Structure 1
Amino acid sequence: MNKSAPQRQTQPAPGALHGPAQAIDEFLETLLEPVREYHPRQEALARQRQEQEEQQGQQTALRPPDVLTPAVVALPQVALEVPLTERVEDSEIETRVEISTPLPAYAEQPFQCLLFRASGNDFAIPLVTLHSIVKQTRAPATLPGQPAWHAGLLLHRQQRIGLVDLGVLLTGAPATGPSPFVVILGEGRFGLLCTEIFRPQTINPDQVKWRQQRRDRPWMMGTLREQLCPLIDTQALLDRLETG
């Protein structure tokens, strides 16, 4: 039996293309790989499940952390030995409101004052607020039922003038000795009994220590710094006399 001579395998030259047999083998190997069956419903369910898992993951990442509410613990009530506030009587908290009294227009510039003495004390009164000055020539007529400061009536130019004892009105002490002069105020209804009359003086506003609040002694506008005597507010004094 003739032995066939062994076939000689030839190696492809470098860079040569694969032969038809090798290409067919590679194609067959790809066909022999297991192919997953395609189920449309299962694919849709799997896709839906994956989307839900992704949404849950996003919601979990965006959700704010839980805030813990502190527990409220009721503390026992303890009676205080010292009260927090003390009761203050109404009389202690009452505040006195002082209203500043405006000065009259004539006091804004130099003005003339008449100085006189009554019941042993010296006083000053603005000349612009006076009616006249008279000297008594006879005893005044007295009237019953009048206040203690009312010293009687003076008939002057057919006008009855009520005489005022400044000592009784302002200090409670009656005048001692005769009071021959009468300083008639305003419209002439009242006159001040005087023991002496001095020459008028010009007073500058800065020569007076003015009273800003006159709750007490409203008739006193201030004090003359040099003469050290009270300056009378004529209108306030007349208001006091009108009230009796």
Structure 2
Amino acid sequence: MSGSSDKAMMEYLNALLEEEKKPVAEFDHEPVKQLLQKATLTREAPKPASEASPAPRAAPKPASEASPTPRAAPKPASEASPTPRAAPKPANEASPKPDAMQEYQQGDFQALFFRVAGLTLAVPLKSLGGIHTVGKISPLIGKPKWFRGIMTEREEKLQVVDTARWVMPEKLTPELEQSIDYQYLITLNDSPWGLLCEELVDSEPLHPDAIQWRKGVNEKRPWLAGVVRERMCALLDVNALITLLNNGSGHIQK
């Protein structure tokens, strides 16, 4: 990136939280190969469907003897219908709440730093699903421009997001878009969503006080948890980001 491009990126990042401009900190751009290997192994560990094999044991055909359960729940038990209301499934909607980032304001946490189109982004390692080398991406018709398509990894279908187009659509000129060279796909939590990135920078602990946290709700960029001042990079609110991606939109980009 040229000096003018770097300056534009700094101004853009500052504008996210309406903060005065600060100088960019110099840091090593060497890819974190060890982190890549660790993240990949970590992701492979939970994926092995071999663990799913015990499922058949937990639900073998002999369980058909469970048919007597209807006797335990005869028609008169219809009064128990209110119980579903007390424990509705919508509770799973609580997982992708933007305020989940508050836990990271309680103490130090590890974060992965990566680059996209000259902009440095950070994601808490606890919210990292895994890191994969970019492979064949199959596009889908009728999807927004930021949705690159599906990438299959170990029989898992990952939904690929063009990070630059999602994060800074207003800055993505044809020239900048052509210069982007995505190398990795960073998956988010246990979701199928993955963010494309050009370069893995490094991983280091972050202190809550070193971050300018978002105050209230950022309607234009709900995915922005805050800005790491010293490194001039945006910290992603992964849960909020997953919610937006599941909804198919959520902010200014198209």
- Do Structure 1 and Structure 2 share a fold, with TM-score over 0.5? yes
Residue 162 of structure 1 and its aligned partner are, at CA, apart by 0.7
In structure 2, relative to structure 1, the CA distance for the partners of 1:144 and 1:225 (3 Å cut) is same
Q: Which residue of 1 aligns with 2:165?
A: 168
Q: Which residue of 2 aligns with 1:197?
A: 200
After superposition, the CA RMSD in angstroms is 1.8
Which of 103, 115, 118 is 1:117 aligned to? 115
TM-score between both structures, scaled by the size of structure 1: 0.56
Alignment of 1:140-219 (within 5 A): 140-172=137-169, 173=172, 175=177, 176-216=179-219, 217-219=221-223
Could you give the per-residue CA deviations for residues 109-145 of structure 1, whole angstroms, max 9, x where no partner exists? 1000100011321101101001100112x33111111
The answer as to whether partners of 2:100 and 2:239 remain within 8 angstroms in 1 is: no
The answer as to whether partners of 1:182 and 1:194 remain within 8 angstroms in 2 is: yes
TM-score between both structures, scaled by the size of structure 2: 0.53
Q: Kindly provide the amino acid, as one letter, of the partner of residue 111 in structure 1.
A: F
Q: Secondary structure at the match of 1:239?
A: helix
Distance 1:129 1:213 in 2: 21
Q: Which residue of 2 aligns with 1:226?
A: 230
The answer as to whether partners of 1:101 and 1:214 remain within 8 angstroms in 2 is: no
In structure 2, relative to structure 1, the CA distance for the partners of 1:195 and 1:142 (3 Å cut) is same
Distance 2:105 2:132 in 1: 26
Q: Which has the higher helix share?
A: 2
Distance 1:222 1:168 in 2: 19
* Alignment: residue pair count: 144
Residue 177 of structure 1 and its aligned partner are, at CA, apart by 2.9
Distance 1:169 1:133 in 2: 19
Distance 2:229 2:180 in 1: 29
In structure 2, relative to structure 1, the CA distance for the partners of 1:205 and 1:178 (3 Å cut) is same
Gaps of 5+ in 2: 1-97, 249-254
Q: Kindly provide the amino acid, as one letter, of the partner of residue 123 in structure 2.
A: I
Distance 1:131 1:101 in 2: 19
Q: What's the % identity of the aligned pairs?
A: 30
Larger Rg: 1
The answer as to whether partners of 1:180 and 1:193 remain within 8 angstroms in 2 is: yes
Q: Secondary structure at the match of 1:200?
A: strand
Residue 180 of structure 1 and its aligned partner are, at CA, apart by 1.2
Residue 170 of structure 1 and its aligned partner are, at CA, apart by 2.1
Gaps of 5+ in 1: 1-99
Distance 1:181 1:210 in 2: 27
